[in-house]
């Protein structure tokens, strides 16, 4: 069993654009009061009100140039029982999220086993989505 396994979820994400690039943060990492503040600030386009210490815990950006709400399929690799994980990548469909995992991380998007380029099926029995 691989150490890092795919995690693919349909959720709402806050997209943080800043000096270190783009980060996606699942909105459910915050308490309800914080989520309300985030959504209100995005609606009012007041980034500085939202980008507080509690948001900085989830991004490498030290400041936010823009914040937006994105509904989509988040994909990353995660180590169950550990804090290890890759950054979220957000896509329009589950298929696109799975293709990202298989292309970028070169592992099966269902079980996390390394992709064998010579065959089209993983040891878990699922067909690879990449060409």
pLDDT tens by residue, 50-109: 566 667 788 888 888 888 889 999 999 999 888 789 999 999 999 999 999 999 999 999
Global pTM value: 0.84
Sign of CA dihedral 22, 27, 33, 36: positive
pLDDT tens by residue, 13-35: 988 888 999 999 998 887 777 77
- Show the beta-strand stretches assigned E in the chain: 5-18, 21-26, 66-78, 89-91
User: What is the layout of strands, in order, in the sheet containing 66-78?
Assistant: 21-26, 5-18, 66-78, 89-91
Length of the chain: 131
Supply 56's token pair. Answer: 């900085």
């Amino acid at each position: 069993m691989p150490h890092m396994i795919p995690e693919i979820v349909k959720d709402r994400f806050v997209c943080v654009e800043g000096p270190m690039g783009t980060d996606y943060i699942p909105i459910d990492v915050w308490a309800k009061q914080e989520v309300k503040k985030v959504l209100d600030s995005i609606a009012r386009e007041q980034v500085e009100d939202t980008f507080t210490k509690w948001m900085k815990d989830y991004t490498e950006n030290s400041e936010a140039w823009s914040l937006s709400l994105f509904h989509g399929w988040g994909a990353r690799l995660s180590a169950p029982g550990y804090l290890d994980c890759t950054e979220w990548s957000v896509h329009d469909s589950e298929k696109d999220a799975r293709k990202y995992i298989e292309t970028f991380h070169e592992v099966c998007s269902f079980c996390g086993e390394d992709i064998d380029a010579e065959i089209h099926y993983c040891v878990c029995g699922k067909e690879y989505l990449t060409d």
